[in-house]
Structure 1
Amino acid sequence: MHISPLPDAAAPPDPEGGLGALSTDRGNLPLDAVDVRASITGLVAGVEVTQGFRNPFDVPLEATYIFPLPDRAAVTALRLEAADRVVEGVLKERAQARQDYDAAIAAGRRAAIAEEDRPDVFTMRVGNILPGERVTVRLTLIQPLPYEDGQATFRFPLVVAPRYIPGTPLDEPAAGDGTAPDTDAVPDASRISPPVLLPGFPNPVRLSISVDVDPAGLRLTGIGSALHVVAESGDGERTTVRLQPGERLDRDFILRLAYAPQETASLTLVPDEDSEEGTFSLTVLPAGRHRPRPRDVVLVLDRSGSMHGWKMVAARRAAARIVDTLGTADRFAVLAFDNVVERPPRLGPSLEPGTDRNRFRAVEYLATLEARGGTEMLAPLRDACHLLHDSGTRDRVLILITDGQVGNEDQILADLLPRLRGVRVHTVGIDQAVNAGFLHRLAQAGQGRCELVESEDRLDEAMEHIHHRIGAPLVTDLRLEADGLRLVPDTTTPARLDALYPGVPLVISGRFHGRPQGGLTVHGVAADGSPWRQSSTAVVSSNRTVASLWARAHLRDLEDRYLTSGSDDLERRIVDTSLRFGVLCRFTAFVAVDSRVATEGQTPHHVVQPVELPSGWTAPAAPMAAAYAGPMGAPGAPPVAGVPAAFPAPAPAATSGAPMARGPMAPGSMPRFRLPGARRRSSSELDDLRQRLTEHLQRLTSTPTPDQALLVDLLQFLEPAVQRLEALGTDVDPLATLVADLQAVHTPLDAAALQGLWDRTIKILTEFTTQAPQEPRPRRPFWKRTP
């Protein structure tokens, strides 16, 4: 099998060391090996990840490692191995798992805990590693391989890239052990910001990757790799791909498997062994051609400092290619952002027709953009939604081009979800260590597609895919109908069915009750407006991975729903689903505790494993981490934090949030966990929302005659504001009623109806903004709940 590699890097790091390359006789950092063994069968991969930790010091050690995993993978097992001991991990509610881990460390027993902080960012803590001892932690996971345009992709991330952290630092102990302080916008920033190795540091971790590929009846026609690999033919059609020695953990490992096109749909039913329920998985393969319709397209381009170098070049090219695909019947706008939002100066502030002149002006502007500033992403996405709110029957499309390196993903999604009704969102991720978890979540929320580009060389191929995605879909308004199969309500994932696009199968999974029989039919509306349907008859299987993959996707849907509700009932449902199906989520954790005491009365020294700077990124202006070695090999001070050159401090601007702040964590801080949907409620946040409502009220009262456009602006703000106010414990019934009334502004109103709505709006806002402030209802964060 021929392997198509990417071009070599221009200049590999100096293997002999560099500034900060301190060492001891036994090594210099606790993590010394990462081994990834994957077995791909058809379009599913089973993976075992092995992390080897060694204590190079003369005292017991506790190591923390912040690392990535594929965002769609289901983590199903953990095993701790030390000396002659093997301990299987147990999945527990996160608060209970932390309590068990802390108690074990205090008692001198070896222990390990794995926690999820983002769909693709995890934290491993391994404690009471004896001097000179090596401890191994194995994680087992299952991941689906996305299949589009005849190509399946196995992507395994290897490094958590530095992320821009907006917001005001919180005046309380840090939630984790990273370098960024927690903020009101990212209350767990210290859990997703590992220290970064100095440039030139000798390769600290031995990396090995092997992938066994079994087409399982599909016809494999080629393999492409984003790292240097060799392929070995196995029995029959099997192929084993191995990573060449010497690679560093500084980019995503990618295999693209070219399969011959498939033409059939399938429905698989997998009954449970211990209940009267089961899991179904339905794959719908569209056929036909889409019919172009007039579109309103807003292109949002990230020009922040992390886009420096080839990424900015690729982003400009991608944006220009998208603009060139527009026709005169389309309307469009281009927004470029760092810590401010800019538009092409020769185009107007609203959507412009896609004429040759306007497209030329947009491309001309794009060619001038350079990377700079911070990644204040929420403001431009809000602006894009506002531009698209009044498109009538036209297709509304938002396209985001970025590396996705932000820490406030939850804040962005919670704010945007109410604004995305009727807006289709496509994301283009450009980086060798892209934030795929966030970009997939945003695209799914907008019922669009996500395309990832890891090199400028692959951009042309990726743009062909993107061109098909931003066109009108083949089928819309999808709904699922069961025929003889009893579906369990509110278990279907995706929770909102996507449209169907050329070359992109739609995978729908969920739970059923009773006998595994019958079929499913997907109904929709074709591009020409005619009814569309596709039926599938069930095939019963014993493949248990189907339930794990469904559980992971369903948990992700529930967690995103939790962002806007913060419901205790929903929280309990998430935990119960995770524990029942044995799949890790943000509300649970795997913990392994050895029953044997390893140390007597010694508090282990805590070390945070530094990570590589992602390949192609600008070297830090100040060290984000130094090696952990003090006099005579004893543990030294915490890493020195710094601001990488890729993130220069932005100038003050009238945008949401604040410049990214990075700094050392307070020594001895106890790690905790926060999720924005359940974070500490700040009275300043309530005051800010009241102030912004007051500003809207002042605009209304200072306008001599009713203005429907001002009511539209108010509605855009009120919908997410009501959800935030409710989460803060404020009585929002009058405002919720007003939101319902204001939906009428999307249709033409006569003078009398507009005047009535105008007067009611002013009355409700006046009463709300002048009433005495309420104390927020105390709400116990879920991570502090007594198990």
Structure 2
Amino acid sequence: MDSCCGLIISCSKVPVPLRGISVEVQVKGFVADVCATLRYKNTEEKPIEAIFVFPLDQDSAVYSFEATVEGKTIVAELQEREQAHKTYDEAISQGQEAFLLEEDKSSGDIFSCSVGNLPPGQEAEVKLSFVRELPVESDGAVRFVLPTVLNPRYTPKDHDMSVTAAIPRLPADKIPYSLALNAHFQSVYGISKIESNCQLEPIQYTDGDKLSAKVSLAQGHKFDKDVELLAYYLQANTPSAMVEAGLPDAVEGSIMADPVVMLNFYPNIPETKEKANSGEFIFLMDRSGSMMDNMSSEQNAPRRIDSAKETLILLLKSLPLGCYFNIFSFGSEFSSIFSESTAYTQESMAEAVKLVNQMDADMGGTEILEPLKRIYKTAGRPAHPRQLFVFTDGEVGNTKFVIDEVRRNAHNHRCFTFGIGDGASTALIKGLARAASGTFEFITGKERMQPKVLQTLKCSLQPMVKDITLTWILPPGVEAKLLSGTPTAIFQGQKSIVYAQLKGKVEQGTEGQVSLAYSFKDEMVANVLRFTLKLTQSERPTMHRLAAKVVISNLIGGENLEEKSEEVQKQIVETSVQSGVISPLTAYVAVNKETKNPVKGPPVQRSIPLYGAPVAMACCMPMPRMMPGGPPRALACSMAAPGLSEPEIAVCYWSDSATVSDGATSAPAEGSPEPKVEVCYWPDPASVSDGATSAPAEGSPEPKVEVCYWPDPASVSDGATSAPAEAKAERALFQLISLQNADGSWNLNSELASVFEMSEEVLKEKIPDPVNSSPRL
């Protein structure tokens, strides 16, 4: 069930109008600094206590909170959590206005803000600021997401109910408040373009070299999907180092007092020519009732379960021969298609695909913990490293328990996760992958999942990188204290970030060097990063706050705070208070001690509904939701134009990187009269690098195929095609994937020919003789 953030008032149907939300985003390179302002007005005739519940990315470091009433700004103080609650409660009992901001203890991606004793007719403005690192996508885009969707989290009966479960919902067109967003991007590498899943005003470059740009969200956002901005820099994967000076008034010896260095590594792992033919691949599929929901509120949007199934089928079709695999489904209960992991053959693959196609979101609640325990109780196979793939919309209430279970078993597997749909819990999706040295991806809306799936598979096929070390060469008298710890997993093409505190006297302009070394297939590899110790003093100590967030997250470790020692809890609180970065053990509190007319009696609690359809608590009951869903949606490499009656077919073998990028072929020449289908033959996934293929060796096995539809230029407007044409292209591509054999080939028959809307005889005529002579393609 999709829902959106907003102000809610406990236990009442009377709304408190949220006038609007405005967001200012400053992106410098790969870091975003965000300030969000929310404006409310109490239209009641009595004072109220309001609770604002909203999502943030798991990695966001909230460092400031303030409220403005009657023209006066009240800056909140970060206190130990219990003390903050005591301060707030005492202020409310004395009739003073008070404000409380806290992180949800069960999940680090949910926050709540209490506004107490808001008098009748009074307006309130709440402002919070946070910073976060930005990931680089498989296509090179730097991705910023403003979460606006907060899904209800299912909680098993033996756990406390999630704060998200009882929020009332409204359809998107009934949400009474608006969102304004302005984003400013800066990059020393230049900005080629900025894209979004939402409608934007035209991009404005603020200098002639395109080093900075501004975009704004168009009016009319309905809060039914997260706001995603993709910035394409001319050079995104460049190693870099930034040094930030400490704060002169900070506590001596603390993170905030000393310089902090942020290192961005892009490890260059040697390519291996060995074909991957081993591994145990276990797929864990979420089939809870919430997976019945659509990926978005747009017409004909696919269901989450269908997108997850397509992702799984693409992975199944790409596994290497010689490996083992199994598929688990979970909801209120769980099951597997095989009693144990079975050898990957044409027969076992065909049976698995058949069963996946029959899957639906009909298994009730989202109880992922028990199937994980069953998987970990099963012994692995010698010489077949275990790789776990998780597909879920993240509507899990006992997040920390689930992550803790994966962490305890991290020594015998790697975990790769896919968050399906808007609002997927970043705490769960990222936490599971990080707990077991894997990677994570989020698949939302209409975006192409194919590059993300292939990138994840490539990472899972990469042998483990071992013996990772960091070696520093710094000026005399300066030493580095690691704050983020040494990286535990390294993958080709994946950014690895390291934070360190520089202790000692740092001379301006001196040089430093760090070597990231590791063992890969018994070969030692080192990536060296040199940098200048040029200290920059900033009013916003962004890197210090990000480093503090990393320290706090590492101390928590995804585990239950109750199980942490008093010493660890003390370190969390100290780091949080000194840096101003909120944690589960601290909270921001502000009190207006100059309230002109103290409120008499307890304030009345009110509620404002959020986006989503009412489900009568089905989100937190172990029962499936009976909701209509759209037809299954197939993968689309790109979009096809209408009139795909006589498509031409071009066959190209092992295209070079100039024609293949992330699996997509280059566009046809201008004025192409008919849409085309290009069939590109691909080698085994283990040998794919950055979407480019290479010439096959003699006697190499059958190559694999990918299809890209080229639309007729006349039918395309702003890169989009009509819905029927798009659906037709997607169905064709999914049909093609479904017909693929385990070794990557196709049977040259009428079924394959029907995908291209031609007879088997015509298809054979289109294929070169060496291939045509074989019954398989």
TM normalised by structure 1 equals: 0.70
Q: Which amino acid aligns with 1:239?
A: A
1:425 match: secondary structure: strand
- Following TM superposition, by how much is the alpha carbon of 1:362 offset from its aligned partner in structure 2, in angstroms? 1.2
- Aligned residue in 2 for 1:322: 315
Equivalent residue in structure 2 for 1:122, among 107, 111, 120: 111
1:424 and 2:414 matched: yes
1:575 and 2:573 matched: yes
- Following TM superposition, by how much is the alpha carbon of 1:125 offset from its aligned partner in structure 2, in angstroms? 0.4
Equivalent residue in structure 2 for 1:221, among 192, 209, 214: 192
Work out the CA distance in 1 between the residues paired with 2:428 and 2:170.
27
1:231 match: secondary structure: coil
Determine if contact 1:154/1:254 at 8 Å carries over to the other structure. Answer: yes
- Aligned residue in 1 for 2:94: 107
- Following TM superposition, by how much is the alpha carbon of 1:529 offset from its aligned partner in structure 2, in angstroms? 2.4
- Aligned residue in 2 for 1:611: 610
Determine if contact 1:31/1:54 at 8 Å carries over to the other structure. Answer: yes
Work out the CA distance in 2 between the residues paired with 1:561 and 1:199.
34
- Following TM superposition, by how much is the alpha carbon of 1:503 offset from its aligned partner in structure 2, in angstroms? 1.9
Work out the CA distance in 1 between the residues paired with 2:90 and 2:149.
30
Equivalent residue in structure 2 for 1:550, among 547, 568, 575: 547
- 1:398–1:349 CA distance, 2 compared to 1 (3 A): same
Q: Which amino acid aligns with 2:290?
A: S
CA offsets 1:621-652 (integer angstroms, 9 cap, x no match)? 43xxxxxxxxxxxxxxxxxxx335x966269x
- Aligned residue in 2 for 1:760: none
- Aligned residue in 1 for 2:179: 207
Q: Which amino acid aligns with 1:442?
A: L
Q: How many residues align?
A: 580
1:224 match: secondary structure: strand
113-122 or 334-343, which moves further after superposition? 334-343
Moved over 6 A (4+): none
Determine if contact 1:398/1:426 at 8 Å carries over to the other structure. Answer: yes
- Aligned residue in 1 for 2:618: 643
- Aligned residue in 1 for 2:594: 596
Work out the CA distance in 2 between the residues paired with 1:331 and 1:288.
26
- Following TM superposition, by how much is the alpha carbon of 1:269 offset from its aligned partner in structure 2, in angstroms? 3.2
- Following TM superposition, by how much is the alpha carbon of 1:264 offset from its aligned partner in structure 2, in angstroms? 4.1
- Aligned residue in 2 for 1:252: 226
Work out the CA distance in 1 between the residues paired with 2:622 and 2:402.
22
Equivalent residue in structure 1 for 2:135, among 131, 146, 166: 146
Q: Which amino acid aligns with 2:230?
A: R
Q: Which amino acid aligns with 1:225?
A: S
- Following TM superposition, by how much is the alpha carbon of 1:537 offset from its aligned partner in structure 2, in angstroms? 2.5
- Following TM superposition, by how much is the alpha carbon of 1:353 offset from its aligned partner in structure 2, in angstroms? 1.6
Matches within 5 A, 1:121-200: 121-149=110-138, 150-168=140-158, 185=159, 187=160, 189-199=161-171
Equivalent residue in structure 2 for 1:386, among 377, 390, 410: 377
1:478 and 2:449 matched: no
Work out the CA distance in 1 between the residues paired with 2:588 and 2:196.
32
Work out the CA distance in 2 between the residues paired with 1:584 and 1:290.
42
- Aligned residue in 1 for 2:676: none
2:594 match: secondary structure: strand
Equivalent residue in structure 1 for 2:444, among 445, 454, 457: 454
Determine if contact 1:148/1:505 at 8 Å carries over to the other structure. Answer: no
- Aligned residue in 1 for 2:20: 33
Work out the CA distance in 2 between the residues paired with 1:203 and 1:501.
43
- Following TM superposition, by how much is the alpha carbon of 1:70 offset from its aligned partner in structure 2, in angstroms? 2.1
Determine if contact 1:116/1:122 at 8 Å carries over to the other structure. Answer: yes
Equivalent residue in structure 2 for 1:560, among 547, 557, 561: 557
- 1:22–1:601 CA distance, 2 compared to 1 (3 A): closer
Q: Which amino acid aligns with 2:551?
A: H
Give the number of the structure whose residues are more often helix, by fraction. Answer: 1
Q: Which amino acid aligns with 1:462?
A: K
- 1:194–1:590 CA distance, 2 compared to 1 (3 A): farther
- Following TM superposition, by how much is the alpha carbon of 1:395 offset from its aligned partner in structure 2, in angstroms? 2.8
- Following TM superposition, by how much is the alpha carbon of 1:159 offset from its aligned partner in structure 2, in angstroms? 2.6
- Aligned residue in 2 for 1:765: none
2:310 match: secondary structure: helix
Determine if contact 1:108/1:600 at 8 Å carries over to the other structure. Answer: yes
1:279 and 2:260 matched: yes
- Following TM superposition, by how much is the alpha carbon of 1:411 offset from its aligned partner in structure 2, in angstroms? 1.4
Determine if contact 1:39/1:47 at 8 Å carries over to the other structure. Answer: yes
Equivalent residue in structure 2 for 1:534, among 510, 527, 538: 527
Determine if contact 2:486/2:498 at 8 Å carries over to the other structure. Answer: no
CA offsets 1:301-338 (integer angstroms, 9 cap, x no match)? 11111111421111001011111111122111111111
Determine if contact 1:480/1:522 at 8 Å carries over to the other structure. Answer: yes
Work out the CA distance in 1 between the residues paired with 2:352 and 2:402.
27
- Following TM superposition, by how much is the alpha carbon of 1:497 offset from its aligned partner in structure 2, in angstroms? 1.7
CA offsets 1:333-360 (integer angstroms, 9 cap, x no match)? 111111222222xxx4222122222112
Determine if contact 2:245/2:260 at 8 Å carries over to the other structure. Answer: yes
2:401 match: secondary structure: helix
1:620 and 2:614 matched: yes
Determine if contact 1:482/1:519 at 8 Å carries over to the other structure. Answer: yes
- Aligned residue in 2 for 1:395: 385
CA offsets 1:730-767 (integer angstroms, 9 cap, x no match)? xxxxxxxxxxxxxxxxxxxxxxxxxxxxxxxxxxxxxx
- 1:229–1:476 CA distance, 2 compared to 1 (3 A): farther
- Following TM superposition, by how much is the alpha carbon of 1:201 offset from its aligned partner in structure 2, in angstroms? 6.8
CA offsets 1:115-141 (integer angstroms, 9 cap, x no match)? 001321000001111111110010011
CA offsets 1:467-500 (integer angstroms, 9 cap, x no match)? 33322158443222233376566x532x462322
Unaligned runs of 5+ in 1: 1-11, 14-20, 169-184, 614-618, 623-641, 652-787
- Following TM superposition, by how much is the alpha carbon of 1:599 offset from its aligned partner in structure 2, in angstroms? 2.4
Work out the CA distance in 1 between the residues paired with 2:621 and 2:172.
20
- 1:422–1:222 CA distance, 2 compared to 1 (3 A): farther
Q: Which amino acid aligns with 1:207?
A: L
Q: Which amino acid aligns with 1:365?
A: L
1:405 and 2:377 matched: no
- Following TM superposition, by how much is the alpha carbon of 1:272 offset from its aligned partner in structure 2, in angstroms? 1.9
TM normalised by structure 2 equals: 0.71
- Following TM superposition, by how much is the alpha carbon of 1:194 offset from its aligned partner in structure 2, in angstroms? 4.7
Q: Which amino acid aligns with 1:394?
A: H
Equivalent residue in structure 1 for 2:513, among 516, 519, 535: 519
Determine if contact 1:475/1:532 at 8 Å carries over to the other structure. Answer: no
- Following TM superposition, by how much is the alpha carbon of 1:232 offset from its aligned partner in structure 2, in angstroms? 3.4
What is the identity percentage for the equivalent residue pairs of Structure 1 and Structure 2? 24
- Following TM superposition, by how much is the alpha carbon of 1:114 offset from its aligned partner in structure 2, in angstroms? 0.6
Q: Which amino acid aligns with 2:240?
A: S
- Aligned residue in 1 for 2:334: 341
Q: Which amino acid aligns with 1:139?
A: L
Unaligned runs of 5+ in 2: 5-11, 295-302, 626-777
- Following TM superposition, by how much is the alpha carbon of 1:366 offset from its aligned partner in structure 2, in angstroms? 0.6
Determine if contact 2:393/2:425 at 8 Å carries over to the other structure. Answer: yes
Determine if contact 1:67/1:122 at 8 Å carries over to the other structure. Answer: yes
Work out the CA distance in 1 between the residues paired with 2:357 and 2:83.
54
Work out the CA distance in 2 between the residues paired with 1:383 and 1:508.
35
- Following TM superposition, by how much is the alpha carbon of 1:552 offset from its aligned partner in structure 2, in angstroms? 0.9
- Aligned residue in 2 for 1:504: 494
Q: Which amino acid aligns with 2:120?
A: P
- Aligned residue in 2 for 1:297: 281
Work out the CA distance in 2 between the residues paired with 1:190 and 1:321.
34
CA offsets 1:47-93 (integer angstroms, 9 cap, x no match)? 10111121121001110111112221111111110112111111111
Q: Which amino acid aligns with 1:405?
A: E
2:126 match: secondary structure: strand
